[in-house]
Amino acid sequence: MAIERTFLMIKPGSVERGLVGEIIGRFEKKGLKIVALKLAQPTRALMEKHYEEHREKEFFEGLISYATSGPALSLVIEGEDAIAAARKIAGATDPKEADSGTIRGDYALDVRRNVIHTADSKEAAEREIALHFENSFLTKHVSQEDKSAVLAL
């Protein structure tokens, strides 16, 4: 068990469908804290780097076109075992296999439009956070011990 940070991206189609509030709410209700958040249309160069492990796949071009087709919401979230917890909340890559109650299980049918990206390992999370956010945009949350000091101000 460890406090981890992970990277999420709510894909353009989900922003267009108005699912942002519903999706972020699921992570917040689970107890994961938002550390950084950005709404922007990702560039091709950024997403080619982000998805570089898939460069040789036949779906790569479609994946990049979709990921850059409009504004997407990038987030860093934090909490205990956040990387695995976020993957579980997102559900299986193919929405046809994703359980009901997961984001992909509830809001998608097509693997090419599976609503959300979440980093799949500690290495990927670190790499993706650094790729999408400057350090100065990563919030430091007030710890439980420090809270009384802040409230007393």
Select 24 or 67, whichever has its Cβ closest to ligand IDP: 67
Candidates 4-12, 57-65, 103-111, 120-128; binding stretch for Mg ion (CB under 5 A): 120-128
Chain centre distance of CA 13: 14
In the stretch 109-138, what mask flags binding to ligand IDP with x, by CB under 6 A?
--xx-x--x--x------------------
Is 54 a known active-site residue? no
With CB under 5 to 8 Å by kind, the binding choice for 59 among ligand IDP, Mg ion, none is ligand IDP
Residue 5's Cβ-count burial label (10 Å; 0-12, 13-18, 19+) is: buried
With CB under 5 to 8 Å by kind, the binding choice for 111 among Mg ion, ligand IDP, none is ligand IDP
Residue type for position 126: E
Strands (E), 2-152: 3-10, 33-40, 72-80, 116-118
3-state secondary structure 102-131: EHHHHHCCCHHHCCEEECCCHHHHHHHHHH
Residue pair 41/5 in contact (Cβ under 8 Å)? The answer is: no
Contacts with ligand IDP in 40-69 (CB under 6 A)? 54, 59, 63
Strands 72-80 and 33-40: antiparallel
With CB under 5 to 8 Å by kind, the binding choice for 41 among Mg ion, ligand IDP, none is none
Question: For binding to Mg ion (CB under 5 A), which residues are involved?
Answer: 120
Residues forming the active site: 117
Question: For binding to ligand IDP (CB under 6 A), which residues are involved?
Answer: 54, 59, 63, 93, 111-112, 114, 117, 120
